Each structure stands twice: as C-alpha cells, then as structure tokens.
Amino acid sequence: MVVSDIFITILYQPFFNVLVGFYQLLNFITGGNADMGIAVIFLTILIRILLLPMSLAGQRSEPERRQIMHKIAEIEQQYSSEPIKKELAKKKIMKQSTGVLIAELINLVIQVAVALMLWKIFQTGLLGEDLHLMYSFMPQITEPFNLVFLGKYDLTHTNFVLNLMQSVLIFVLETISLYTSPYPVSRKEVIRMQLVLPVVSFVIFMALPAGKKLFVITSLIISIILVSIRAIQRSYQDYVAKKE
C-alpha cells in the first residue's frame, strides 16, 4: 500500500465520513435544510478535541523549548566567527534535547497530515467527488450538498469578509498570548506576531476557499478561549500565591 493509500484509508476517509455524517444529521434535524458550513464547524471542534492532548503536552514542554532556543542564541553569538565550533555546540544541544525534538517532529507531521486532509476535503470532498469513500453503514447521501454557509458565504469560493475576520482573530489571539505570557516578550516578537503575522496570513489565505477559512476561524476562536482560560488560571494562581 503506497503512502497516498495509507493517508486516504487511515486519515482522510474517516474524517470525510464524519463530516458527511454531521451534514446528514443536520439534514435530519432541519428537515432537509442542512448547512455544510455548520458541519465544518462541528468537524473543527472534533479535531481540536482529538488534538487537545498534544496541545497540552506542547504547553508542558514550552519552558524546555525556550531554554533550547536561548542556548542556541547564545551559541550563535559566542561562536559567530567560528562556524565549525558553532555547529558542534548546536549538535550537542540537540542531542541533549532529543525527547523535545522528537515531540516537535511528531507534532509537525500531525499538523501537516491534518492540513492535507482538510485541503482534500475542500478540494474534492465537498464537491461530491469522494462519495465512493463513504462507509457502507452510512445513511444514504443527500445530494447536492448545501455549500452556502448561512445562506451567504459560498464555501467553494474565496471571501473577503471571512479572510479579514481570520486575520483579526489571529491578531486577537497573538495579543492575548503575548500579554499574558509568563515569559519575557521582546519587541521583535510583538511586531512579528501582532502585525506581520495577521497581514501575511491575510495575503496568503486570500485565494483560499471560504470553507478552509471557516475551519481556521473556528479553530482560532477555540484557541482564544483556551488561551484566555489559561491566563485567568495563572492570574488566580498568582493571586492565591500572593495571599499566602
């Protein structure tokens, strides 16, 4: 079995069935007026729940990651004129941090796999080209799918409003993350995360269909909620610690 077949069987097919299943459930509840955009939101929430353990593990390893970055920055400065010593020192740091690096690699692979899955869903799945991948136990599919979210946004075409909303949410998320971070924040980080990232994201995602943007928007809203909850928890813990 080639890599593409493994990807289809293990990742794409199950989630595509889940998405269509959500749509069919909405169709049943609404009496035939399902909205694929709502189904995409449900799928986004499900994926974020499944990836939550990975997100929590990433938070726990954040101090170690920052320590590695700090050591590498020191090496860059200390051996700026000695490239061989610089590379040897970097390799030594990497060997000492194998666990964190493997976890980061696994995290990256999972994110890329999910991104490819979503690309295929919005590229071919929503258009009905992958209905042959539906499991035999799934109910009869109602075609064509309603791909106009809230009767206004065509999920198969780009949309300026959703693209702008996405960039604004990125700005909000990064602002909350930076100003509630327990770690020192540099001026460069503020400029890069609050200004450059939202603008670059707006340009990059401008040509993508609204369905993909809806997924990103939902995911960003979930991230904002989680970051806000963590910030409140840290504030409460600091308050209790000061009181004691």
Task: Indicate the pTM of the whole model.
Answer: 0.80
Burial class (CB in 10 A: 0-12, 13-18, 19+), 162: buried
Q: What are phi and psi of 148, to 5 degrees?
A: -105, 105
Strands (E), the chain: 148-149, 153-154
pLDDT at 238 (0 to 100): 74
pLDDT at 131 (0 to 100): 86
Strands 153-154 and 148-149, sheet pairing: antiparallel
Helix axes 98-120 and 62-78, enclosed angle (nearest 10): 110
pLDDT at 62 (0 to 100): 62
Q: Give residue for tokens 């069987």.
A: 9
Q: Which of 227, 201, 215 is nearest to 55 (CA)?
A: 227
pLDDT at 26 (0 to 100): 92
CA distance 16 to 237: 42
pLDDT at 14 (0 to 100): 92
pLDDT at 183 (0 to 100): 66
How far does CA 125 lie from the centroid of its chain? Answer: 20
pLDDT mean for each 10 residues of the chain (244 residues): 79 91 91 90 92 71 65 71 71 67 74 84 83 86 85 89 92 86 73 84 87 90 89 80 74
- DSSP conformation class of 97: T
